[in-house]
Amino acid sequence: MSFLAVCQWIETTSLSIAIREGALYYPILGAFHLLGIAWFGGMLLMSDLSVLGIGLRHEPVSEVWSQFRRWKWAGFVIIVLSGGLLWWAEPVVCYKSLSFRIKMVLFLFAILNSLLFRRTACLGLAAAEQGPVKSRSTRLSAYASLLLWLALIFSGRGIAFF
């Protein structure tokens, strides 16, 4: 069975039909998705800017990261759950959308960047008590994170058009 056939089957499920054809389900899910993006994006922005020495300069970088970690996870969970349900409502549209495919590739790269950052660069955060982090790999990971998530947002908006 091809992935397109799976998407076509999902589109005929009662949950997919209810979300797609219900008066409020799709807009409410879209609102939660945007709320999650704003929530997660704000926490990510503050964390990455702290690593780069641009934001929260008077706070230790390791402290900023530890304070925002739970909030970032909450926003991430909202994004994934609401995004998954939005995809479930229109899997064939997403399957055919180049913007959706680009978004999923960017999402994969953002996750890999985060895992790589956690594995390598987080060790150097404790050493940087004040000011910008000196580690080149940590700074590159912060820049990559900002660029990947910005590109994700733009490609997500493109799903409706491309």
At 113-154, the pLDDT tens digits run 988 877 666 655 655 555 556 678 888 888 999 999 999 999
pLDDT for the residue 136: 81
Of 58-67, 69-78, 124-133, 137-146, give the lowest mean pLDDT range: 124-133
Compute CA distances 122 → 32, 135, 143, 149, whole Å: 30, 10, 15, 19
Query: How far separated are the first and last CA of the chain, in Å rounded?
Result: 26
pLDDT for the residue 69: 87
Question: Do residues 52 and 132 touch, judged by C-beta distance below 8 A?
Answer: yes
pLDDT for the residue 154: 94
The pTM assigned to this predicted structure is 0.85
Query: Residue type for 45, please?
Result: L
Of 119, 91, 109, the C-alpha closest to 152 is 109
Question: Do residues 85 and 26 touch, judged by C-beta distance below 8 A?
Answer: no
Read off the pLDDT of each residue in 4-24 and give the average, rounded to a whole number.
Answer: 95
pLDDT for the residue 129: 57
